Amino acid sequence: MIRINYIRQVIHLFVFLILQIPLINKFILFDKAFGFFYLGFILFLPVGLNRNLTMIIGFLSGLVIDVFSNTPGIHAAATVLITFVKDYWYSFAIGEDEEPNLSWNDLKGWGSVKFLLPLITLHHTIIFVLENNGFTEFVILMNKILLSSAYTFITVFSLSLLLAPTERK
Amino acid sequence: MRNLLNFLYRFRTFGFFLLLEAVCAWLIISYNQRVNASFLNSSNFLAANINLAASNTSDYLSLSRVNEQLLKENTFLRNELARIVLDSTHVQKDSIQQFEYIQTKVISNTFQRSQNYFTLNAGSGSGLEPGMGIISSSGVVGRIKSVSQNFATGISLLHRNLMISSSIKRSNTLCTVQWDGASPYEAELKFIPRHIPLIEGDSIVTSGYNAVFPSGIFIGTISSFELDQKDAFYQAKVKLGVDFTSLDYAYVIKNNLAVEQDSLETQTLMNE
């Protein structure tokens, strides 16, 4: 049984997911970079939590975002995939088995890049390809994916850095 | 049998994953197919109210622009009125007024995505129905996709699935306006046969050949066109009249004779 810090998860829920909702159509740079930083809530869910439960949480958060952005199913499809592969990717990229209270302190700078960036890029690729109905307008599509991934990564990275608990030694 | 159960048990997580993805796929497909698709969009009560609150807080920032827009529209309408009064023999005296305009406010809007929608602050309570056309003071904006009691979600002209029957004002040539997903300021102009001479700056207006938009509503002007040797149609672009990056107020067009017109048209089609 893993010990989860529920308060931390609730803070993540508010800072990442709830804060994203009014900003979903506003948090956009240069008309190309979309900040979907709600993904931070999903990425920082406890590693080792029951995967079915994680997927349900991912599905519901995706659906909430979908309702607000008029894309029923698109965000949910991407977040379900992310919650499915997240733990495998964590053990592959970071190496440790379980981290019930994942935070910036466990990842540090380079770990964040290794763990967060590929998953964020995967998520954005799915969203933009689904929304675009395929690979038409390829250059614009790639621009959107790359710029948005970078934008989201920077936002999630800074928010998680801000939320990181002070380390006790 | 036991093996099968074992197998299913071992892959239950993966199975659950597939199930959730299937649900998502169903949501995506059904939303794209039906007109009044689901409550899972921005016209639902909670989402629309949050959007409304967000829009109310940022309203003050755009007041001067809105003022200017309204002033322009006022001038245009006054000129139009003067022309009609002068020209009063041409005023149609219909027994019923065919088109009614319902004023709404746009409370959330996107223009950067490849399928764009917006939310209006009026719904079925004000007489809005799925399928109605939406215009603003500067041209065609889109169509209504779904409505709730107090809110409506509209498909923006900046949506690949929306095709608008239109015509070139100068030559009355029928054509179709459809967005290509590239820029929020331009759309594609399709099906202009090659024997029609085009001029950059030609006005494109709605054709009025369906029950959604009355004829003669401005869409945009031709910004560029080219004609290859082997093409049957021009490849042309329209510069849209509406600035989708700043959409504030819109009018929904209610066609009082829509049912009559549509049923007559389908009846004629079936008789053929």
Q: Quick check: is A47 in a domain?
A: yes
Query: If pLDDT is split at 50, 70 and 90, which confidence band does A1 have?
Result: low
Whether A1 is in a domain gets the answer: no
Higher pLDDT, residue A107 or B184: B184
Sign of CA pseudo-dihedral B210, B211, B217, B223: negative
> What is the reported pLDDT for A169?
47
- Rounded distance between C-alpha atoms, residue B118 and residue B248, angstroms: 11
Distances (CA, A) of A137 to A140, A144, A161, B178, B182: 6, 11, 36, 15, 7
CB-based contact, B59 to chain A, within 8 Å: no
Instruction: Inform me whether the C-beta atom of residue B179 falls under 8 Å from chain A C-beta atoms.
Output: no
What is the CATH number that goes with domain B38-255? 2.40.10.340
State mean pLDDT over A17-44. Answer: 79
- Beta strand B249-255 pairing with B235-240: unpaired
What is the span of the domain harbouring residue A31?
A: 6-163
pLDDT > 60? residue A164: yes
List beta partners, residue B189: B177, B236
* A169 within a domain of the structure (yes/no): no
Backbone angles phi, psi at A41, to 5 degrees: -60, -40
* Percent with pLDDT over 90 in chain B: 0
State whether residue B51 sits within 8 Å of chain A by CB. Answer: yes
- Kindly give the pairing relationship between strand B99-109 and strand B115-120: antiparallel
Judging contacts by C-beta atoms under 8 Å, the chain B residues touching residue A56 are 20
The answer to whether residue A77 sits within a structural domain is: yes
- Residue A85 resides in a domain: yes
Quote the number of domains for chain A. Answer: 1
The question of ipTM being above 0.90 is answered as no
Whether residue B143 contacts residue B34, with contact meaning beta carbons closer than 8 Å, is answered with no
Task: Please tell me the distance from the alpha carbon of residue B71 to that of residue B76, in angstroms, as a whole number.
Answer: 9
Please give the Cα distance from B144 to B117 (Å, whole number): 9
Task: Give domain status of residue A43, yes or no.
Answer: yes
> Domains of chain B: which residue ranges?
38-255
Nearest Cα neighbor of B120 from B143, B151, B144, B149 is B151
Which amino acid is it at A136? T
Q: At what angle do helices A74-93 and B12-33 cross, to 10 degrees?
A: 150
Cβ contact (<8 Å) for B114 and A73? no
- Per-residue pLDDT reduced to its tens digit, A58-101: 888 888 888 887 777 888 889 988 988 888 888 887 777 666 67
Work out whether strand B203-206 and strand B186-190 pair parallel, antiparallel, or are unpaired. Answer: unpaired
Of A25, A55, A73, the CB nearest to B17: A55
- Contact call for A51 and B13, based on CB within 8 A: yes
Please tell me which residue, B32 or A144, carries the higher pLDDT value.
Answer: A144
Which residue, B173, B187, B263, B197, is CA-closest to B219? Answer: B187
CB burial of residue B118 (10 Å; 0-12, 13-18, 19+): buried
Closest residue, chain A, to B107 (C-alpha): A25
As a whole number of angstroms, the distance between CA B126 and CA B25 comes to 33
A4-10: average pLDDT: 78
- Alpha-carbon distance of A42 to A80, in angstroms, equals 10
Q: Tell whether B27 is within 8 A of chain A (Cβ).
A: yes
Ranges under pLDDT 70 in chain B:
32-43, 85-97, 272
